[in-house]
Structure 1
Amino acid sequence: MAEQQKEMSFLGHLEELRWHLVRSVAAIFILAITFFAFAEQVYDHFLLAHIKPDFITYQLFCDAFQLFGIDSAFCNVSFADKKLQSIKVTSQLMNSIWSSLILGLIVSFPYLLWEIWRFVAPGLTAHEIKKSKGFIFIASFLFFIGVLFSFYVIAPISIHFLYNYQITDAIENSFTLESHIGLVTNMLLGVSILFELPVLIYFLTKIGLITPEFLKKYRKHALVVVLILAAIITPPDVASQVIVAIPILILYEIGISVSRRVIKKQEKNANKS
């Protein structure tokens, strides 16, 4: 009888998990359909915004360099002769579907976290539920800071560099729609996920896998890993990789402080008991 109850409990958890997954997938698809319906506006004002000379980042960089009396290529940005190529019959349709799904995933991120929290919450104590309520806000905040940082800093610098990089005049740059959109969406997702580092460190510390001392000891190793990850999610130019690495390293240091606070709190609770 006890085994049957356990089996029913397990099956009940599976059923509950299934519905959380169904709702999460439904949210992604609903947003994806919305983005697909407004594909022209999404592409013109978001996904292709970086190949417009008047993009705000180029203007800000130009003004910043001029403030210090430095001539900058950002003051003469031109993509007039850079037309993206669609070389397959289905390229535009499939690209708009895929990019809509990725944007749906990005925008629905807070809701996905909420579904995860709802699934986990029944197994938490009242005190733990109270303490974990800020998790969705903090994780979502870091994620969207990563989205903004990627969109307004990493993407324009990378695209400006890659569109103007040329080994010799004998080679003409002619980029495809897939390569451009893939570059933008990969950076948006990759950088945003990396910005979740403090949250990851928090949970790893809570379950006892890492400590502040461990993070300090392997700080140099972490620097190498961050540079490798930056090289993977950004184009092969040093400027973009360094610009990505700097905030990640700052978040790593914040993670050390978070880990230290978790350990101190655990020790304080242990002493009370």
Structure 2
Amino acid sequence: MSSPEPNRTEDSGQPGEESFISHLIELRDRIIRAGIAVIVVFIGLVYWAPNIFHLLARPLLDNLPKDGKMIVTDVTGSFFVPMKVTMMVALVIALPVVLYQIWAFIAPGLYQHEKKLVVPLVSSSYILFLCGMAFAYFVVFPTIFRVMAHYNAPLGAEMSTDIDNYLSFTLTMFLCFGVTFEVPIVVVLLVRMGVVTLAKLKQIRPYVVVGAFVVSAVVTPPDVFSQLILAVPLILLYEAGIVAARLIVGKDKPRIESGDSATSD
């Protein structure tokens, strides 16, 4: 009578193992598809790699002094740096496909209301990240390079920047401002999940202002203009997140109240 029990536990363990393996296989397939999408876009852009890097370097080139120029200190830098830039551009262009593959993998484990929330959340996050990169390229870079060129002039120092160092700087700035523009999404999520309340967000506003200037002082070059360029948008985006959270919570309140009244009845 006791012998069938081990057989049932073994049988119950097999479907779990098969399900785990099937999830790993699906994850592998999703990663491969996302990688193929990035590679296809990269192959389509690789011919214009020098032009893409020149477009990235334009904010610096436009603000260099008359004798200033970009230099290459690595033997292979003139080849690999444009390739890196092109790969980053390909990743940004193919990011919707990558996000779709992630969504297709996790969607079966989500509830219906979570699925409705994820799609606008991911799309708005992607758009805001692109807006942050655009703000860095069109506003931040020209301002920073103009200020740096002005500082170098009285010193009599020749402003010559290595293309690899320039790439590292621009990628850092793109990432910082892209993440900064995600602040409204983070605020809305925190309020919607009940981690913080709108009253608490308003209460900690002075600390957010101080934190914004601290972060900008660490990330940006050590001048007032560069710090303001990051700190001010960070504060404004925090306020925008509070407004958006108030609108979303206001829409959800009737549902919550109706649900509470129904349970009380």
TM-score bin, normalised by smaller chain = 0.7 to 0.9
Question: What's the offset of the Cα at 1:223?
Answer: 2.0
Indicate the residue corresponding to 1:173 in structure 2: 159
The answer to whether structure 1 residue 85 and structure 2 residue 71 are counterparts is yes
Question: What's the offset of the Cα at 1:168?
Answer: 5.0
Alpha-carbon distance in structure 2 between the residues aligned to 1:248 and 1:241: 11
Please point out which of 57, 60, 71 is paired with 1:51: 60
Please point out which of 191, 196, 199 is paired with 1:213: 199
Once structures 1 and 2 are overlaid, which stretch shifts more, 207-216 or 82-91?
207-216
Which whole-Å deviations, capped at 9, do the CAs of 1:164-217 have from their partners, x for residues lacking one? 322853543332112222222222222112211122223333333333233222
Matches within 5 A, 1:117-266: 117-166=103-152, 169=155, 171-266=157-252
Alpha-carbon distance in structure 1 between the residues aligned to 2:16 and 2:243: 41
Instruction: Classify 1:25/1:265 alpha carbon distance in 2 versus 1 (closer, same or farther; 3 Å).
Output: same
Indicate the residue corresponding to 2:30 in structure 1: 20
Which whole-Å deviations, capped at 9, do the CAs of 1:23-55 have from their partners, x for residues lacking one? 2233333333444321121122x11211344xx
Alpha-carbon distance in structure 1 between the residues aligned to 2:204 and 2:197: 11
Question: What's the offset of the Cα at 1:266?
Answer: 5.0
Which whole-Å deviations, capped at 9, do the CAs of 1:139-183 have from their partners, x for residues lacking one? 222111112111100011111222332285354333211222222
Indicate the residue corresponding to 2:3 in structure 1: none
The answer to whether structure 1 residue 116 and structure 2 residue 102 are counterparts is yes
Instruction: Classify 1:219/1:134 alpha carbon distance in 2 versus 1 (closer, same or farther; 3 Å).
Output: same
Indicate the residue corresponding to 2:51 in structure 1: 41
Indicate the residue corresponding to 2:20 in structure 1: 10
Q: Percent identity?
A: 28
Instruction: Classify 1:206/1:112 alpha carbon distance in 2 versus 1 (closer, same or farther; 3 Å).
Output: farther
Q: Is the 8 A contact 1:211 1:263 kept in 2?
A: no
The amino acid of 1:36's aligned partner reads V
The amino acid of 2:110's aligned partner reads L
Structure with greater proportional helix content: 2
Post-superposition, which runs of at least 4 consecutive aligned residues in structure 1 deviate over 6 A? none
Alpha-carbon distance in structure 2 between the residues aligned to 1:255 and 1:266: 16
The amino acid of 2:125's aligned partner reads A
User: Aligned to 1:38, what secondary structure does the other structure show?
Assistant: helix
- Mind listing any 5+ residue stretches in structure 1 that lack a counterpart? 54-76
Instruction: Classify 1:108/1:164 alpha carbon distance in 2 versus 1 (closer, same or farther; 3 Å).
Output: farther
Indicate the residue corresponding to 1:271 in structure 2: 257
Provide the TM-score with structure 2 as the length reference: 0.80
Provide the TM-score with structure 1 as the length reference: 0.78
The amino acid of 1:176's aligned partner reads D
Instruction: Name the Cα RMSD after superposition.
Output: 2.6
Which whole-Å deviations, capped at 9, do the CAs of 1:90-111 have from their partners, x for residues lacking one? 1222212322222223333333
Alpha-carbon distance in structure 1 between the residues aligned to 2:122 and 2:106: 13
The amino acid of 1:205's aligned partner reads V
Question: What's the offset of the Cα at 1:252?
Answer: 0.7
The amino acid of 1:197's aligned partner reads V
User: Aligned to 1:175, what secondary structure does the other structure show?
Assistant: strand
Q: Which of structures 1 and 2 has the bigger CA Rg?
A: 2
The amino acid of 2:147's aligned partner reads F
Alpha-carbon distance in structure 2 between the residues aligned to 1:78 and 1:154: 15
